[in-house]
């Protein structure tokens, strides 16, 4: 094959490959923001005594079967977001200054706990929320 035929082929197919890859990646970016089939995007905010917690973790455990649910990171401003199937959930919340140690929640100094320990486990926190297509925004106000 002569040199200029190869270079002509490369010049034509490279832009096509680049364009196809770009379109595929752009389509996938939208996928990350929409819930998978059978799930809804649940989002909200966690506050303690009216103040948003700066970070932590929130866990949702299904009341119906005790499994199925999810865990999300609580970001700055107490905000969280995750995908859940429509159900009623027990909720557990943990927020500790500096994060949890490998030894777990029991090894944390009490002065560094931002959320009272009674809220740490879904089974004993006393918090229940219903999540479905119309109830997706979840605001949780904790008492100290």
Q: What is the mean pLDDT, run by run of 10 residues, along the chain of 144 residues?
A: 50 44 42 78 96 94 86 95 96 83 54 84 95 95 93
pLDDT computed for residue 68 by the predictor: 80
pLDDT computed for residue 27 by the predictor: 42
Q: Note if the pTM is more than 0.75.
A: no
d(CA 98, CA 93): 15
> Residue 45: exposed, middle, or buried by beta-carbon count in 10 A (0-12, 13-18, 19+)?
middle
d(CA 10, CA 4): 10
């Amino acid at each position: 094959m002569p040199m200029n035929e190869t270079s002509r082929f490369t010049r034509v197919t490279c832009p096509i490959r680049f364009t196809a890859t770009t379109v595929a990646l752009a389509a996938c970016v939208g996928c990350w923001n929409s819930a998978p089939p059978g799930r809804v995007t649940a989002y909200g905010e966690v506050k303690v005594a009216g103040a948003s917690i700066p970070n932590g973790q929130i866990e949702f455990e299904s009341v119906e079967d005790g499994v199925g649910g999810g865990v999300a990171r609580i970001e700055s401003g107490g905000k969280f977001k995750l995908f859940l199937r429509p159900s009623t959930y027990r909720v557990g919340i943990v927020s500790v200054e500096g994060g949890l140690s490998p030894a777990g929640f029991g090894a944390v100094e009490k002065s560094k706990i931002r959320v009272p320990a009674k809220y740490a486990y879904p089974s004993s926190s006393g918090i229940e929320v219903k999540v479905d297509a119309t109830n997706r925004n979840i605001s949780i106000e904790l008492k100290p």
